[in-house]
Amino acid sequence: MSDVELEEFYKEHLEEAIIKQLSKQKNISLDEAMNLYYNSKMADYIHEGKYDIQYLDYKVLTDYLIKELSL
């Protein structure tokens, strides 16, 4: 597995963890959590690797996402 493939694999699992945590914390469906996540700035930042945000813990990122979305 190349470094690029490994990075993409990591990002996919990070996104999955954020979505599951968001669903759990806000008591919403996974579909709703997925919709909220993928329509957020955070999703773009993680996808682009902006600010190295993808290296933060998923729980920290979920809390940030909740604040960003004012949930």
> pLDDT per residue over 43-61, tens digit each?
999 999 899 999 999 999 9
The two three-digit tokens of residue 6, written as one number: 């490994």
Cα atoms found within 13 Å of the Cα of residue 39, Cβ hemisphere only = 7
DSSP 6-38: HHHHHHHHHHHHHHHHHHHHHT--HHHHHHHHH
Q: What mean pLDDT is reported for the chain? A: 94
Report CA dihedral (58, 60, 62, 67) to the nearest 10 degrees: -160
User: The pTM is what?
Assistant: 0.91
**Angle formed at CA 64 by CA 48 and CA 22, multiple of 5 degrees:** 95
